[in-house]
């Protein structure tokens, strides 16, 4: 299995994805669940290009602090540029399984589409528990990728593409097991709710438009498809859009938890 690395072109696509209309709705759901307040300290794990970190800064204000980490140097550079005018945001390269922060340092922690990519999710959750203060909140958003439905005139090719894509993360259906993992490390599950995405149009404002480009890149890099086949798979979506037959549906799940003591 090839690692999905958000560097170079893949990082550029991920940042474009983060700005689409579907992702704006997702950010709203995450921040509603976090309920950040003035002067709080918050940690973002897997910050990408810094879109969430910049918005978190508006909630906590200069009296608070936002710390954001990502394993990709490309993404951190973009995040630092995006957050340059909010000095209470600090973005740096970091690893979720070994957080360079003090015990009980944060009021809230969040991660969006990141934990499913970690080789040791339990260790990351233990680190979250360590750096979170008692009563602190956690919000994790991850996708159940087996929920994905994508219309195609070439069903065998689509099945091949989706089977290849489901190998892109160690836990491609993380929400199904996350509640029990939280309990194992001493965190209390508060709530799980679906944040579904439905696209019946294919254009740059939709999640599926940019996700298709990420997936194509992964399928080629992992040798799940040849470049020619993966490009044909991607090109079909333009045809379906012209025919009025485009359909994409997937179910991310937002999980809320807290540290009791």
The 10s digit of each residue's pLDDT in 97-156 is 999 999 999 999 999 999 999 999 999 999 999 999 999 999 999 999 999 999 999 999
Classify residue 125: in a domain, yes or no.
yes
Classify residue 81: in a domain, yes or no.
yes
**What would the mean pLDDT of 88-96 be, rounded to a whole number?**
97
The pTM of this model reads 0.89
Classify residue 238: in a domain, yes or no.
no
CATH number at residue 80: 3.40.50.150
Measured CA to CA in angstroms, residue 119 lies from 16, 52, 60, 69, 160 at distances of 26, 24, 31, 17, 24
Terminal C-alpha separation, the chain: 39
Classify residue 70: in a domain, yes or no.
yes
Number of domains in the chain: 1
Measured CA to CA in angstroms, residue 32 lies from 23, 35, 197, 214, 254 at distances of 14, 5, 18, 28, 11
> Is 90 exceeded by the pLDDT of residue 12?
no
Classify residue 222: in a domain, yes or no.
no
Classify residue 153: in a domain, yes or no.
no
What's the domain range around 134? 8-145+170-198+251-259
pLDDT tens-place string over residues 182-204:
999 999 999 999 999 999 999 99
Classify residue 164: in a domain, yes or no.
no
Measured CA to CA in angstroms, residue 92 lies from 15, 19, 249 at distances of 17, 21, 34
């Amino acid at each position: 299995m090839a690692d999905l690395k958000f560097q170079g072109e893949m990082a550029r696509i991920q940042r474009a994805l983060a700005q689409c209309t579907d992702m704006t709705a997702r950010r709203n759901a995450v921040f509603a669940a976090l309920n950040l307040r003035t002067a709080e300290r918050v940690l973002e794990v897997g910050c990408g290009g810094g879109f969430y970190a910049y918005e978190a800064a508006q909630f906590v204000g200069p009296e608070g602090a936002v710390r954001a980490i990502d394993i990709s140097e490309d993404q951190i550079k973009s995040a630092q540029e995006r957050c340059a005018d909010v000095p209470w945001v600090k973005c740096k390269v970091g690893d979720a399984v070994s957080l360079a922060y003090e015990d009980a340092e944060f009021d809230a922690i969040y991660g969006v589409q990141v934990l499913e990519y970690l080789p040791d999710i339990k260790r990351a959750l233990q680190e979250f528990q360590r750096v979170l203060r008692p009563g602190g909140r956690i919000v994790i958003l991850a996708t159940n990728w087996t929920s994905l439905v994508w219309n195609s005139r070439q069903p065998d090719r689509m099945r091949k593409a989706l089977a290849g894509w489901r190998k892109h993360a160690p836990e491609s259906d993380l929400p199904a097991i996350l509640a029990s993992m939280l309990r194992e490390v001493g965190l209390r599950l508060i709530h799980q709710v679906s944040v579904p995405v439905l696209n019946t149009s294919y254009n740059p404002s939709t999640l599926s438009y940019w996700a298709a480009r990420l997936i194509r890149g992964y399928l080629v890099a992992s040798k799940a498809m040849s470049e020619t086949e993966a490009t044909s798979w991607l090109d079909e979506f333009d045809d379906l859009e012209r025919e009025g037959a485009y359909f994409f549906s997937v179910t991310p799940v937002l999980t809320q938890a807290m540290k009791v003591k």
